[in-house]
Amino acid sequence: MTTQLYVHPSYLDHRTGPHHPERPERLEAIQQVLAHDMFDALIRIEAPRADDSLLTLMHPKGQVDRVLTSEPDQGLVHLDPDTVMSPGSGDAALHATGAVCAAVDAVVDGAADNAFCAVRPPGHHAEASQAMGFCLFNSVAIAAEHARQAHGIARAAVIDFDVHHGNGTQALFWDREGLFYGSTHQYPHYPGTGAADDTGAYNNIVNAPLAAHTGSEAFRAAMETRILPALDAFRPEIILISAGFDAHQQDPLANLNLIEEDFAWATDQLVAMADLHAGGRLVSSLEGGYDLDALATSVATHVIRLMAAT
């Protein structure tokens, strides 16, 4: 059994303009580090393209059409001040969602123990009818619902350690029994959501907001006292990770001051929870991380821990 890596050339065609932090070089840095021979055992899969039947699990058809028809023939189009489309952005977003859903298929069917999806654009800020925060479609939320609809999974969980709260995932899961969202994030910080008393309609939302500059000890305590106990009580049949690495101390967009060992530790905790409740079924998908060196080393650490679990 194996760890699968989902990639697609279209991710490099999504261009966001000069000085935008969510840029193709992020994927190039990841590709370079994962080309090292220590990752030879990864099974590399070219991500399929999602169709409307997947996207409309979480987004109204009208929103899907609005996003895709906003793609310009040339130049850039801003859906909001932060969220940009170029020629090729729609295809990249469709292959991003396709990657996470295909990874779910693989771990549920037993073709892989776990998977990492090196995708862009990210997804966790995208709400049902609003693209925002660099995100076009909420790939992880779609994949969690896909696990339930296509595979009969009763309880699917998303754990998000991106430094920014996944407002989109929280909103999409809020009143859906059988979906769980847990998040550690800097607070108050963009997008301004993720209060500790947000619980969801079924007590299926658990936030662990962290003050700026709190670092490793506070992050691990939040996971150990809030996120992991709630996840254990939920008894997920599959775990998905919104794997943002912008909580790293070198990242320019936030100030949580984590280091690579924190991501390794968090990965180990979630792997153990997947082993306990989900037969090891775990899918991780890239969200943020904007310092290229920190992103590359953090992803490498994360994937090494996934591979060690197989």
User: Which residues are designated catalytic?
Assistant: 125
Are 183 and 212 within 8 A, CB to CB? no
Between CA 117 and CA 289 the distance in angstroms is 14
Q: Where are the beta strands (DSSP E) in 106-260?
A: 114-117, 156-160, 179-186, 205-210, 238-243
Q: 132-148: buried (b, 16+ CB within 10 Å) or exposed (e) per residue?
A: bbbbbbbbbbbbbbbbb
The two tokens of residue 210 are 């962290």
Q: Cβ–Cβ contacts within 10 Å for residue 103, how many?
A: 28
Instruction: Compute the distance between CA of residue 284 and CA of residue 102 in angstroms, rounded to an integer.
Output: 12
Nearest to 164 by CA among 215, 117, 123: 123
Please state, in angstroms and rounded to a whole number, the distance separating the CA atoms of residues 197 and 219. Answer: 18
Collapsing DSSP states into helix, strand and coil, what is residue 165? coil
CA distances from 236 to 124, 144, 204, 262 (A): 19, 11, 11, 23
- Tokens matching residue 157: 């969980």
